[in-house]
Amino acid sequence: MSADVLAQFTRRPPPPGERCELCGEPLPDEHRHLVDTTRRSLKCSCPPCHLLFTRPGAGQGRFRAVPDRYLTDPGFTLGADGWNRLQIPVGLAFFFRNSALDRFAAFYPSPAGATESELDPATWDAVIGSTRLAGLLEDDVEALLLHAERGKPATCTLVPIDVCYELVGRMRLHWKGFDGGAEARADIEEFFGRVAARARPLPAETEASGAGNPGGGAP
């Protein structure tokens, strides 16, 4: 993988009190982001600059506004066999489509940052690519966040790409030892609780459409 793609997911969260990286206006601690598709990085933005890149046609240029939508599919299932086919060694992963490379990328967070997992296009299509959430995913600015806990069904949530930055940063900050430690586990649980609280479920399907691999047990 290229160093630029990895750098996108290892950048630390921006410090408080900084300014919009387009116009220089002061920013609150909580602010929106743009994806710089040329440099494969996030840019902090003020509301007017963010709004500028949400207009029709704006997504064809260098900068793309990161949306603020969280979606789940109540019909999504992913069994242990499906997870194993994705070749993800831990119970966390996120997937997004890189428009510059014209392919999907798979990453899993670790204490060292984000690690890319080789993602065969045929495997993606068979396991996740045909799901409703994958069909809604916006290139570069949104990701599918998968979470699998032993003994529980795996969950899949469509999230803004900067949420994945946050997850990577949290793990780097709190992880201790081999299993992360109690603090890291509690922090990850709080993070996914917040994601679940914000997620809006898609309407139920009127007919079966093969939403994921059958068998909802986690690996």
pLDDT band per the 50, 70, 90 thresholds, residue 51: very high
CB atoms within 10 A of CB 189: 11
The answer to whether residue 9 scores a pLDDT higher than 60 is: no
pLDDT band per the 50, 70, 90 thresholds, residue 29: confident
Segment 62-99, tens digit of pLDDT: 899 999 999 999 999 888 888 889 888 888 999 999 88
Going from the C-alpha of 105 to that of each of 130, 132, 170, the distances in angstroms are 16, 18, 21
**What pLDDT sits at residue 214?**
37
Burial class (CB in 10 A: 0-12, 13-18, 19+), 23: exposed
pLDDT band per the 50, 70, 90 thresholds, residue 133: very high
Annotated domain spans of the chain: 3-65, 71-201
The answer to whether residue 182 scores a pLDDT higher than 50 is: yes
Give, as one character, the DSSP assignment of residue 152.
S
The answer to whether residue 126 scores a pLDDT higher than 70 is: yes
Question: Would you say 20 and 44 are in contact if contact means Cβ atoms under 8 Å apart?
Answer: yes
**What pLDDT sits at residue 121?**
87
The residue assigned the tokens 């109540």 is 74
Residue 163 three-state SS: helix
